[in-house]
Chain A
C-alpha cells in the first residue's frame, strides 16, 4: 500500500496579542496509508483538532503553521493555492465534524447539502445530484432515504444527523476522511452503529481515515495505528494492538486505566476502589517548557527526567515508538 497522507515535522503556533508565537503543535509526524485508519488520541487541549484543521487548511485566524510539510499523495498541501484547496476539500480530503447540528446548515435540506458537494466536484445536475444523495443516504443506513433527502437537519435525530455528515463527507469520494470525535455526541448504541458503518464503508472504498478521539479504549478496534498526543507533542505511536495492549508511556497507561471498563458475567459484589486517575491537567498554551510535557503529572518521573529536555520519539520495537526517558525500564 502506498502512503496517502504524510505529515512531516508539523509545528503549529498561535500568535498572541503581543506578537509572540506560542507553540500549539510541535514536530508532529505520522503517515496514513490508503484503506487504513490512524487514530489521534489525547485529552482536550492536546492538539488533536488543530492537527485536523491544519490538514484541511482550516486553521483559525491566529494559528499559523510554523514548520513542516503535509503531503497528500506527494503534493504539499501547505503550499497549494486556495483554488487548489477548494477542489481538494471534499474530493481529496473531507472531514466529519464533532457537532452535526452546528456543522449542518439549518436552512437547507440534507439533500441540498449533500448535492452541493456532488454538483461542485462532479458537475452533475440537480436531479442527478438528488438521486446520488438518496443513494448515499441509503449507504449510511438511513431508513426511507427518498423522504429523508427532503428533510431539514432539525427534523432528524442526532444519530441521523451524524450519518448525514458522513454521507456528505463521502459524497466526493475522498481519499482521506478526517473524523473529529464523530461519536462523542451520540448514544452508545448509535456509537457502535457509526463505528461499524465507518469500518464497512472503508472496506468498500479504501478510504484512509484519521480518527480523532479522547477515548483510547473505544478506538482500539477500529484503528490500525495510534498516535497519542500530549500538550501538542506525540508521546507514543505505533501499531494499535501494540499501543493498547503494551502501552509504554505513563500517559498512555493512565488514559487506558482511568476508564472504567464494563465487566460482564457473574462477579461478586465489590466495594468501590478508586479509579486510577491522572492528577492535574494538560498545561495551558504558553506554559509548556522545553522539558518533558508530562513531567508535572507523571507518577514515574525521576530526577533524570527533571534534568533533561523533552525526549525524542524513539522506537522500542519495529512498530512502536515512545517519547519517554524511562521507556526501557517501563517497557520491561
Chain B
C-alpha cells in the first residue's frame, strides 16, 4: 500500500499560503472638501503561492508594498479585497477565535528588534506571552518551552530574567525569533529581519533562521532589499514595484535570466564590483525615485522610469504572464527585450 501513497497526486497542501489578488488601499485624505478622497495604492492586486518548507523572497524599494503585503498576511492592516488562503481557510474572513487559532501557525519577525520588544518586560515573559494569549500548554509547560526556545536561538538560560536593553542588537533579534517560534508556527514572515543588523551579526541570524527551517520544516516569507541575501536565502523570489509584482521566478532563474527592466535595474545596483557592474549600471540602472503610490496613473507602474517604455506601456497595465517554469513577468515588451548579459 505504500506505493499507492507515494503515487498520490500532490494536493493543495504543497502550498502553505495562497495569496490571491490582494489589494490594500489606504485613504490619503481629500484635496478639497466634498471631493472624493485619494487612495494610496500600497498593494494593488498581488498574487503568489508559497511552497511548504521553502523561503519565498519579496524584494523591492521602499514604498513598493512589500511590508504592507506582510502586514496584510498577518492581519495587521485591513485588506481592501482579495484572498489569503492559509491551510483551507481565507484568513481575511476570520474573526475572534478563528483568527487566534490561525495566529498559532502564522508569526512575524520585524526589522527593528528594539521597537518590537517591550522595554519594561523581561525577555522570558515576552517569549511566553504568545503562549499565554493563545492558551498553549499548562503554565509549567510554558516555562519549560521558554527555556528550550532560549537555548534553541543561542541565548543563555539566564537571558529570561533580563530586560531588552541588556541585550545587543543581534541578541534582541534572537529574542524576537524565539517569541515567533513559541507557538510552533508553520510560517514565519521575516520583514527585513536582518536589515538593521551589522554584517557580521546578519550572517549569524541568517544561519540561525536556516537551521530552524531545517529542524522544524518552517516556511518563510522573507522580505529584504538586499539582493545578495535574498539570492542565498530564498527558493523563490518576487520583485515588487509600487504595489505590483513585476517579476516572479525561482532564485536560480531570476539572477540568470531576469526579464523585467526593473529587475535589471535592481541587479545593476547590487552587482558585485567589476567591469560587468559598470556595464550594467550604464545600461540598466534607472535614475530618480519611484513615483507616488497615491492614485497612480494607468499603464505599467514602472513606465515613467523605464528606459524601454513605449506608448502602450503608459496606456495599459501589463498582466503577469508565464514565460518559463514558475517564471512570471508583467511587461508588455517581455518577449522582445533581451535580458542583460552577465559575461562582462
Q: What is the interface of chain A, defined by CB distance below 8 A to chain B?
A: 43-44, 141, 143, 157-160, 187-193, 196, 214-217, 220-221, 254-255, 258-269, 272, 274-279, 281
Docked pose: A260 CA to B57 CA in angstroms = 15
* Residues of chain B with a CB closer than 8 A to A255's CB: 199-200
Known contacts A215-B199, A265-B256, A274-B207; 13 additional CB pairs below 8 A are A43-B198, A44-B198, A143-B288, A160-B289, A190-B61, A255-B199, A260-B232, A261-B228, A265-B342, A266-B256, A267-B252, A272-B233, A275-B203
Q: Which residue of the partner chain B has the closest CB to A272?
A: B210
Q: A159-B289, A263-B231, A281-B170 are in contact. Are A258 and B269 (CB under 8 A)?
A: no
Verify if B31 is at the interface (C-beta below 8 Å from A).
no
Tell me the minimal C-beta distance from A229 to chain B in angstroms.
Answer: 13
Contact call A269/B228, Cβ cutoff below 8 A: no
Contact call A188/B169, Cβ cutoff below 8 A: no
**The stretch of B89-97, B140-148, B260-268, B308-316 that contacts the partner chain:** B260-268
Verify if B272 is at the interface (C-beta below 8 Å from A).
yes
* Residues of chain B with a CB closer than 8 A to A159's CB: 289
Contact call B61/A265, Cβ cutoff below 8 A: no
Docked pose: A118 CA to B166 CA in angstroms = 45
Docked pose: A263 CA to B228 CA in angstroms = 8
Q: A261-B228, A262-B227 are in contact. Are A275 and B206 (CB under 8 A)?
A: yes
**The stretch of B80-88, B128-136, B279-287 that contacts the partner chain:** B279-287
Verify if B204 is at the interface (C-beta below 8 Å from A).
yes
Verify if B19 is at the interface (C-beta below 8 Å from A).
no
Contact call B270/A188, Cβ cutoff below 8 A: yes
Docked pose: A196 CA to B282 CA in angstroms = 11
Verify if B320 is at the interface (C-beta below 8 Å from A).
no
Verify if B225 is at the interface (C-beta below 8 Å from A).
yes
Q: Which residue of the partner chain A has the closest CB to B268?
A: A192
Tell me the minimal C-beta distance from B214 to chain A in angstroms.
Answer: 8
Docked pose: A158 CA to B257 CA in angstroms = 31
For window 214-237 of chain B, which residues contact chain A by CB distance below 8 Å?
A: 225-229, 231-233
Docked pose: A157 CA to B227 CA in angstroms = 22
* Residues of chain B with a CB closer than 8 A to A216's CB: 199
Q: A43-B198, A44-B198 are in contact. Are A141 and B287 (CB under 8 A)?
A: yes
Tell me the minimal C-beta distance from A284 to chain B in angstroms.
Answer: 8
* Residues of chain A with a CB closer than 8 A to B168's CB: 281
Verify if B11 is at the interface (C-beta below 8 Å from A).
no
Tell me the minimal C-beta distance from A271 to chain B in angstroms.
Answer: 10
Contact call A263/B255, Cβ cutoff below 8 A: yes
Verify if B273 is at the interface (C-beta below 8 Å from A).
yes
* Residues of chain A with a CB closer than 8 A to B276's CB: 264
* Residues of chain B with a CB closer than 8 A to A43's CB: 198-201
Tell me the minimal C-beta distance from B194 to chain A in angstroms.
Answer: 10
Contact call A272/B266, Cβ cutoff below 8 A: no
* Residues of chain B with a CB closer than 8 A to A267's CB: 252, 255-256
Docked pose: A226 CA to B17 CA in angstroms = 46
* Residues of chain B with a CB closer than 8 A to A217's CB: 272-273
Contact call A281/B266, Cβ cutoff below 8 A: no
Contact call B199/A187, Cβ cutoff below 8 A: no
